[in-house]
Amino acid sequence: MEESSLDLYWKKNLSYLTILLSIWFIVSFGCGIIFAESLNTIKLGGFKLGFWFAQQGSIYVFVLLIFVYVYLMNRLDKKFKLNED
């Protein structure tokens, strides 16, 4: 495999990481902590939104983020023929 193609694979991986970890930060530290008080003025059924993000929503998003990353990386591995048997 050529060096440049491996570099491209790594760059792609780093850009996925940047995007997913930004979401990770915004949902937990952003919606769950920093902006929780203002989000609490919005209601989602019986939940105040800030409280919901802090005790429920952020955890669901965490799970989702990992599976999105798994999907993206498996696709990337195949594209660059780096997938294991």
* Closest separation in Å from C-beta 56 to another protein: 6
Under rule CB under 8 A, residue 62 binds another protein? yes
CA atoms of 45 and 29, how far apart (whole Å): 23
Which of 22, 74, 75, 79 is close enough to bind another protein by CB under 8 A? Answer: 74
Bridge partner residues of 44 (DSSP): 47
Provide the mask over 15-54, with x wherever binding to another protein is found by CB under 8 A and - wherever it is not: --x--xx--x---xx--xxx-xx--x---xxxxx-xxx-x
Asked whether the beta carbons of 27 and 58 are under 8 A apart, the reply is yes
